[in-house]
Amino acid sequence: MKSYNIAVIKGDGIGPEIIDEAIKVLDRVGDIFDIKFNYKEYLMGGCAYEETGDPLPQETIDGAFKSDAVLFGSIGGYKWDNLPRALRPETGLLKLRSALGVFANLRPVKVYHELTQASNLKEEIVSGVDLMVVRELTGGIYFGKPREKGDDKAYNTMVYSKDEIKRIAKIAFDIAQKRRKKVCSVDKANVLEVSQLWRETVEEVAKDYPEVELTHMYVDNASMQLILDPKQFDVILTGNIFGDILSDEASMISGSIGLLPSASIGGKIGVYEPIHGSAPDIAGQGIANPIATISSASMLLKYSLNELDASMAIDKAIAKSLHDGYRTGDIAKYGVKKVCSTSEMGSIIADNIGVKKQ
């Protein structure tokens, strides 16, 4: 039996509820594929601040490094909004990513056939959408120096080195090779020197991937094209700030932010989490959608553990559960057989591991 150590960070708000369902599904996968998952819980976010005075205790960082991957729920909430920046829950997540050296954020967007009507876009536009946003996570304007804020003037600098661009581009091309072999690099090379270097470097990397088609698109056009014709995209490669904006825009194509997972990889240990927040307004009510977190567990199996069959089994179980008409409240308007609680949806997906669609 194979054995893996998973650092579990449930976090705040709905985090504990959705993580419990992901673990339920992982345990079911483990039973079928003869895999043992050893979980150890750590604190991060508001709950960590309340208990230790630090949104990211050193114990959590140490625990992550002793693990094969990190499964994370969500952090934050209204009660911590007025804390100094250094103590806010979100700072804990930024510090964890920095400590682990993850630099590539992967955000897949797939529209399930059963939920094409859930999108705000027309069914014929979203049907069949299956794309991946590869966002550089540790550079760009969010981290550029110098930076300064005065009473009448403030500025930030956008900085990327060639090496930073190369490493994120390689991840995008590697992913594209296993998909439809298309990379669209998004920049603003018509006005930004940083984007000019980005484009030149991506073209250099593309020479090592002759079977992958590379195109370029300005970010303003890309934001329009995502709505006009999202099916044209396979892998979108872009920098930190553009990726931040485009990935959130792309997430709404699916119909619910509760469906979409993410992975932060590139360092020694990957971090897997749903893209949605902690939703403190519904915490404890048992109505949160666990699918994004369960899908994040599938990405954990794929990208950190290389357990491809187990990962695919989770993806198929999610699809079957939706096909059979099971929904949480956020997607309950479309093709519903039963509106499920968080726990019920997790159990249905777990029970469908290894079961084929009829």
142 catalytic? Reply is yes
As given in the structure block, the two tokens for residue 287 are: 């109505």
Phi, psi at residue 294, to the nearest 5°? -65, -40
188 catalytic? Reply is yes
244 catalytic? Reply is yes
Q: Which of 68, 130, 142, 351 is catalytic?
A: 142
8 A C-beta contact, residue 309 and residue 316: no
Question: What is the three-class DSSP state of 266?
Answer: coil
Question: What is the three-class DSSP state of 107?
Answer: strand
8-state DSSP, 101: T
Half-sphere exposure of 104 (CA within 13 A, CB side): 26
Question: What is the three-class DSSP state of 248?
Answer: helix
Q: Which of 68, 130, 248, 324 is catalytic?
A: 248
40 catalytic? Reply is no
Residue 44 CB-density burial (10 A; 0-12 exposed, 13-18 middle, 19+ buried): buried
The secondary element (H helix, E strand) that includes residue 204 is helix 193-206
Half-sphere exposure of 108 (CA within 13 A, CB side): 20
Q: Which of 220, 229, 281, 309 is catalytic?
A: 220
8 A C-beta contact, residue 290 and residue 18: yes
Q: Which of 244, 272, 303, 330 is catalytic?
A: 244
Catalytic (active-site) positions: 142, 188, 220, 244, 248
